[in-house]
Structure 1
Amino acid sequence: MEKKNSNNEFQIRTDLAMEARELYQEEKKQEIQGVSVEQEELKDVTITRVEVLNEEAAKVMGKPKGSYITLECMGLRRADADLKDEVSQVMAKELRAITGNRKNIKALVVGLGNWNVTPDALGPKVVSKVFVTRHLFQFYNKDKDDDLAQISAISPGVMGTTGVETSEIIKGIVEKINPDVVVAVDALASRKMERVNATIQISNTGISPGSGLGNKRKALNQENLGVPVIAIGVPTVVDAATLTSDTIAMVIDAFTRQADKGSDFYNMLKELQEEEKYALIREILEPYNANVMVTPKDIDETITNLSQIIANGINIALHPGIDLKDVNRYIN
């Protein structure tokens, strides 16, 4: 999230691995050593797979070593039923691959966030739509099923309302039910307005609850929980400095097209590094306490749609007998 570099300049707020890579490339004009990138273009979705291969690359990226899969779809903000189904299927395929295509998996789905703050309500909304089955396995005294996996789900709330660290709650549940994997869903933050509510990131490195709103808590990861943690997140907010920086960049582009190509003033502005612009804007906003988190005005409808897409993807990926023609039956 937000931190200072060695020169005490504010770094741009982002939770997306692909954006951390972009920032490095823009500054250094080269690829990060120890990072592999693969991109796949589908009909409506662009898939970017970033693999952080060693600890040195992880330090440069500011992200733990592991796999980060990003699905970009600009139509997500106004997705119709067909596009929702398409993105759910793509997500299910990627999620199934990152979990190792395991059969008879036991999974705990965790919806991180605050029900009462709409941009932070993605996790709880997803949990409300996940098809949970652990109680059925217990009732029928079964260990395996050809069509269903053992899925349990919890939305633990936030420490401000529970008084308990989220990681402590999840660790207690994990020790009790012993899942094979934890799937954690949370809101994230992006450095680009265009990616807000239009991007889904899947990673096998865990997550820090509240990171999207700048309130990092103890990480949910394999080191802390003792089981693999798959993180699914959508950037639902940008901070005001990022929003302003993007706006200024668009204004500069517009003025540059209209002004003489040799205009020293516009060329100087255009050559400013992203972090330089961000640091300047942040410095201006800080005395007025104006660097707030910003989200689109139609966030209520967007979160409802995104939660359905992600829940469908989870249901299809984890339950072997559930496919697209069945999945919407389980959505409230």
Structure 2
Amino acid sequence: MAEFRPISVATDMAIEARDIVRGEAHEEVPGVRVDKQKDRHVDVTRVEVFNSQGARLMGKPQGHYVTLDVPGFKDREAGLRADLVDVLTDELKALIPEDTRKSILVVGLGNWNATPDALGPRVVERLLVTRHLSELVPPEIQERMRPVAAVAPGVLGTTGIETLDMIKGIVSEAHPDLVIAVDALAARSLDRLLGSVQIADTGIHPGSGVGNKRQGLSHESVGVPVTAIGVCTVVQAMSIAQEALRLLVQQLADDAKFYKILEEMGEPNQNALIEEVLGERLGGLMVTPKEIDLLINDMADVLAESLNRALQPQLDRSEWA
């Protein structure tokens, strides 16, 4: 039986954590189930962490994580965007109460002054917020309209208040039946930048992927279920160096003795070598695409449209667009 060690690198993506822990083993990580399928042009990967052993190895709470991968999203193809909206809407509907009398609070996490971290606030700007409209719309619309509230609480560095404290206060006053938290995520793979969306029923832990852990938003901490939606917007520079070495080894091991030696070291030792040589220089450096502002707006449009569709299934798009 393969030996599995707990994840020792930071990533917000459950599928990446699983791949790191699994390594080259031909067995699944204990306590973890994975299912992959294709829905239109979207690759859907479901990761279930179903016991404490899996949670310990993965460094993730027990629960369900769904990753939607659209590598071509950065090319801004209209068809890919439409497919992602449709698939994401379907996934969200499965997590949102069917009863439209149930109220929802959407929380846009992140710093609106830092573009790679501004996804949550930009999604909130585009949402159909209805909680205050119940007495202002005609009865025929009111009975079909779900009460939705939204807030972008900012970050500790600009507000001086922990996000969790703000959300707990809002929940205690507004009494939503579900909190949906939207945040930017950190990944290890360049292919996931603005091309991967993760949905989790375990809540969210702001800053965990960039080594800046804040108090998490979860059912236990706020008192109501929390669904998390995240998009990869940054990659660790160290991960880029490790991936570059891996690609060099793959392409040149047959032609150069030096790369053959590296190949024989195995990927864990290769990563340890990069860490030893570049760790102090790269540290916590994060990398994001040069067109990040455009891509963040595109992804904010996708997430907001999917949320609006999923939250207001009985409203016609013309009534909220």
Kept in 2: contact 1:282–1:291 (CA 8 A):
no
Kept in 2: contact 1:222–1:229 (CA 8 A):
yes
- Bigger drift between 270-279 and 121-130 goes to 270-279
Partner of 2:12: 15
Question: SS where residue 98 of structure 1 aligns?
Answer: coil
Question: SS where residue 12 of structure 2 aligns?
Answer: coil
The one of 289, 292, 303 equivalent to 2:296 is 303
The one of 187, 194, 210 equivalent to 1:213 is 210
Cα pair distance change 1:137/1:246, threshold 3 Å? same
Letter in 1 for 2:12: D
Instruction: Note the aligned Cα RMSD (angstroms).
Output: 2.3
Deviation digits for residues 68-124 of structure 1 (CA, Å, limit 9, x no counterpart)? 000000111122333222211100100111235443331100000001111101111
Q: Supply the distance in 2 between the matched residues of 1:197 and 1:276 (Cα, whole angstroms).
A: 29
TM-score by length of 2: 0.91
* 1:196 correspondence with 2:193: yes
Q: CA deviation at 1:146?
A: 4.4
Partner of 1:224: 221
Q: Which ranges of structure 1 fall in alignment gaps of 5 or more residues?
A: none
The one of 60, 70, 74 equivalent to 1:73 is 70
Question: How many matched pairs?
Answer: 316
Identity of aligned residues (%): 42
Q: Supply the distance in 2 between the matched residues of 1:280 and 1:102 (Cα, whole angstroms).
A: 54
Q: CA deviation at 1:137?
A: 1.6
Q: CA deviation at 1:52?
A: 1.1
Partner of 1:317: 310
Q: Supply the distance in 2 between the matched residues of 1:159 and 1:138 (Cα, whole angstroms).
A: 35
Deviation digits for residues 277-298 of structure 1 (CA, Å, limit 9, x no counterpart)? 3333233223335541111111
Higher relative contact order by CA 8 Å / sep ≥ 6: 1 or 2? 1
Q: Supply the distance in 2 between the matched residues of 1:159 and 1:283 (Cα, whole angstroms).
A: 32
Partner of 1:286: 279
Kept in 2: contact 1:89–1:316 (CA 8 A):
no
State how 1:37-48 maps to structure 2 within 5 Å. Answer: 37-48=34-45
Deviation digits for residues 198-243 of structure 1 (CA, Å, limit 9, x no counterpart)? 1000000001123343321101000000000000001111111101
Letter in 2 for 1:109: V
The one of 111, 114, 117 equivalent to 1:114 is 111
Q: Supply the distance in 1 between the matched residues of 2:58 and 2:90 (Cα, whole angstroms).
A: 26
Cα pair distance change 1:273/1:322, threshold 3 Å? farther
Kept in 1: contact 2:85–2:305 (CA 8 A):
yes
TM-score by length of 1: 0.88
Q: Supply the distance in 2 between the matched residues of 1:33 and 1:289 (Cα, whole angstroms).
A: 33
Question: SS where residue 47 of structure 2 aligns?
Answer: strand
Q: Supply the distance in 1 between the matched residues of 2:138 and 2:162 (Cα, whole angstroms).
A: 33
The one of 142, 146, 149 equivalent to 1:149 is 146
Q: Which ranges of structure 2 fall in alignment gaps of 5 or more residues?
A: none
Q: CA deviation at 1:174?
A: 0.5
Q: Supply the distance in 2 between the matched residues of 1:181 and 1:58 (Cα, whole angstroms).
A: 24
Q: Supply the distance in 2 between the matched residues of 1:161 and 1:105 (Cα, whole angstroms).
A: 32
Cα pair distance change 1:236/1:271, threshold 3 Å? farther
The one of 220, 227, 252 equivalent to 1:255 is 252
Kept in 1: contact 2:40–2:83 (CA 8 A):
no
Kept in 1: contact 2:238–2:282 (CA 8 A):
no
Kept in 2: contact 1:119–1:237 (CA 8 A):
yes
Partner of 1:59: 56
